[in-house]
Structure 1
Amino acid sequence: MTNGQESGGAPGYGAAPQQNPYGQGAHAPNPYAQPVPPQQPYGRPAAASNPYAQPAADPQPVPYPRPVPPQQPDAARRPDPAARFEAAPQPGGFPGPAPRRNRAAVLLQFLLQWIYAPLWILGLVAVFVVLILADYSGGGPDSDGWVRVNRSFIPPRRLRAELTGRPEDWERYVTPLLERRIAAAEATHAAGGGTVQPDLGREVSVGLAVRLYRGLGADGVVRIAERFGWQGVPNGTDAEQVRLVRRFPAPAALAAPSPQDPPAAPGTPWGPQPTRFALLLPVVFLLQIVYVPVYGLLTFWVNHPEPDRWERWGARWTVGPRAFKAEFTNSPAAWDRHIRRILKRDATRELARPADGYGPLLAPDGTFLRRITLHRATYCGAGAHRALRIAAEEGWVLDPAYAPDPVNSLRLCRADHR
């Protein structure tokens, strides 16, 4: 017995055959009309709920918006190369290999760089010393290229690729370099970095100059980046650089107490934290005059695997004049005054920013979120929950784009309208 269709597409039971078996009709839908695309974990992220809409009634009111839990990417699944950021680039959308450099020029630069690079560094040190002694406060050049000695330096690992020009040699050089930069960018996201997107997700980016992948081309770099779940950005890539991005979804939930909850217990992540020994603070206050300048230079020149390492170090070994009294006395009233003072300062600065500067974060109705951050040194002795209660009095709530990290900082937001 047939199921209603014979071979060749003719209907059974003696009915007249259809003229167009794949046309849109009432009897049979077109199986090739709009296939359901497979879900891509690194394509466009799932749209989160509108953070500016009024929340529905809840037995336990929450003072901050909660986004809809987005689809989490499957770490075990290798990203589909066809899934690209925003518009999928057409073939040839990324520049290919750049012209090969002259071998003699490459060898000459490699030999001479061991002479001029140290002299260049000594010259920079001399310039900075002169500027400090002269109390120079004028403007500098628009670009910092004259400071970056490494831009004209050919490491031995790249010399072979420069001389042979073979794509496989360039790929062997670029792959570990790109892997390190991607790992550093993802660590930055884990520490709270990245650019907030309209759906409350965050985007981190990596850029490579053409000198680092000359014989491979931007298309080859994008192909390597896709192995790590990253995508190339055609509109941010040109003949001089390639730009790679990865989007991370917003946290599924904010595991944090409400400002109306009872105070958190001391020693817990949201409660008061132990402060430094009171008699040690005057010593730290005086010694930091000597080592804070060195600390500032290290934060500029030395990249640490933990992006917030220097910030945590500064919170431990420095003390500001405004926080000195609060930490020295460890009085709840002094901590409250300090929190309110810092909150007012940062909020005033943020509220002074024009709404047009938020760009794509503006909702269609002109609503957007203003953001500030309170560091641990601001509320250490009072606790993050106490700082959250004080901030809630001024309309500031936990930022739903970040996972709460009360031990180190409080990221707050407040809805505003243009």
Structure 2
Amino acid sequence: MPNGQEHGGAYGYGVAPQQNPYGQGAYAPNPYAQPLPTPQQPYTPQQPYAPQQPYGAPHPAAAPHPAAAQQPSAPARFSAPPRPGGLPGPMPRRNRLVVLLQFLLQWIYAPLWILGLVVVFVVVILSDYSGGGPESDGWLRVNRSFIPPRRIRAELTGRPEDWERYVTPLLERRIAAAEATHAAGGGDVQLDLSRELSVGLAVRLYRGLGAAGVSRVAERLGWQGAPSGTDAERVRLVRRFPAPAGLIAPSPQDPPAAPGTPWGPQPGRFAPLLPVVFLLQIVYVPVYGLLTFWVNRPEPDYWERWGARWTVGPRAFRAEFTHSPAAWDRHVRRILKRDTTRELGRTADSYGRLLAPDGTFLRRVHLHRATYRGAGAHRALSIAAEQGWTLDPAYTPDPANSLRLCRPDHR
């Protein structure tokens, strides 16, 4: 059992997933409402943190469930949706003369197009803009009519093998970027606590290969094709990752984590410098955002992490300036109360596919590092446990950056 001196992680995604918490219909009480009996204390040094499952289903860290032997293996339970039938094949090849003309002329009209967009934006900024304009932003997408040199051969020959040579590295890059977001906490949570990632390709990128061919290439990378809805001009690829098999983290009832450890209080910033940062951030935050907005960030919470390092929140200013544990506790409680109120304002129907057949669902909140920096992730977890929040079993604990919490509710 970690005591806060070491980083909590997970056993990885290659082992059997935990029992589906939606398989039980009973609403479980708050696991932290009363002290746990000594004979049944689950937080022994040999076991990871195993918060009670919201609907009565046992956690893998607890005693094996009698029906565990009948559960399908991880690939069977958490495989991507079945490949849809009837994915369209290769489309007719475009006229070679038209392709050549477009390829030659684009080096002239593309720069002029970009220059025209700059002029339009300057005019809009300087004029009394009323907010009207085209409904579609297609006229902004210069890249949609641009043929990169790597694609010209495939466009001219129209052969599926040439298109596959072009699509494969493109697909590998996009899939790698998507999987990086999963490692950082991205992906859509499913009812069984797995998380699904999706990647889309426009038809101009795979015309001669077809959606079926793209799906075939994606299958070699562990992904599968999925219905793209009403958009026939795109192919959608998905991959589903199971929830972590175990949450290695300290119990909210454990002794406080040591300062400087991932679960303990983090070193405070130099107090006399905080007022300067507080004032200058009004200038450098928007400047940095404008200069780097075009950069593709694989981390879904990049700006929260950046803000925790380079900004000072008005609510957290007193806690950071004084380094007072009581001030940090008040700050954590204030932010948790705000997020809880916001989350409770959502109706059960708004959870859609995350609503179990018996009407149960999980409410979720997300505390960032800036909220509990001086108090420590373990202290924030203890405060949250008082209100029934536990670590979200759909995510690997990452106390150095954020706390993802959940709590059961019923329609």
Match of 1:4? none
Task: Determine what percentage of the aligned residue pairs are the same residue.
Answer: 80
> Is the contact made by 1:336 and 1:382 (CA closer than 8 Å) also made in structure 2?
yes
1:323, distance to aligned residue in structure 2 (A): 1.7
The residue that corresponds to 2:373 in the other structure is 380
Distance 1:135 1:376, change over 3 A: farther
Letter of the 2:113 partner, please give it. W
Give the SS at the match of 2:140: coil
- 1:336 to 1:135, Cα distance in 2 relative to 1, 3 A: farther
Per the alignment, residue 50 of structure 1 pairs with 22
- In 1, are the aligned partners of 2:195 and 2:243 still within 8 Å (CA)? yes
In structure 2, the partner of 1:7 is none
* Residue of structure 1 equivalent to 2:69: none
* Equivalent runs, 1:73-152 vs 2, <5 Å: 85-90=80-85, 93-131=86-124, 138=131, 142-152=135-145
> Is the contact made by 1:284 and 1:319 (CA closer than 8 Å) also made in structure 2?
yes
Q: Which residue among 385, 388, 394 is the counterpart of 1:395?
A: 388
- The answer to whether the Cα contact below 8 Å between 1:64 and 1:400 also exists between their aligned partners in 2 is no
Question: 1:60 is aligned with what amino acid?
Answer: Q
Partner Cα distance (1:129, 1:67) in 2: 58
Distance in 2, matches of 1:259 and 1:121, equals: 55
1:304 aligned to 297, 312, 330, which one? 297
Check conservation: 1:84, 1:232, Cα contact below 8 A.
Answer: no
Deviates more, 1:188-197 or 1:55-64: 55-64
1:133: Cα distance to partner?
5.5
Provide the residue aligned with 1:191 in structure 2: 184
Q: Equivalent residue of 2:22, what SS? A: coil
Shift of 1:388: 0.9
**Structure 1 equivalent of residue 170 of structure 2:** 177
State the aligned residue count: 367
Q: CA deviation at 1:263?
A: 1.0
Cα-to-partner distance string for 1:223-270 (whole Å, 9 max, x where unaligned)? 000001101113548531111100100110111112111111101111
Structure 1 equivalent of residue 270 of structure 2: 277
CA 1:177 to 1:235, structure 2 compared with 1: closer, same or farther past 3 Å? closer
Cα shift at 1:48: 2.6
The alpha-carbon deviation at position 50 of structure 1 amounts to 3.2
CA RMSD of aligned residues (A): 3.0
Show structure 1 runs of 5+ residues with no match.
1-40, 75-82
- Residue 41 of structure 2, aligned match among 45, 49, 60: 60
Match of 2:253 among 233, 252, 260: 260
| Secondary structure of 2:316 counterpart | helix
Q: Whole-Å Cα distance in 2 between the matches of residues 84 and 199 of structure 1?
A: 12
Are residues 367 and 382 of structure 1, via their aligned partners in 2, closer, same or farther at CA, if it must alter by over 3 Å?
A: same
CA deviation string 1:27-53 (max 9, x = no partner): xxxxxxxxxxxxxx99xx886343765
3-state SS of 1:185 partner: helix
Structure 2, unaligned runs of 5 or more: 1-12, 43-49, 62-71
Assess if the C-alpha contact under 8 Å between 2:18 and 2:59 holds in 1.
Answer: no
- Distance change (3 Å), C-alpha of 1:134 and 1:284: farther
Matched, 1:155 2:148: yes
Larger radius of gyration: 1
Question: Structure 1 residues 338-347 or 225-234, which shifts more?
Answer: 338-347
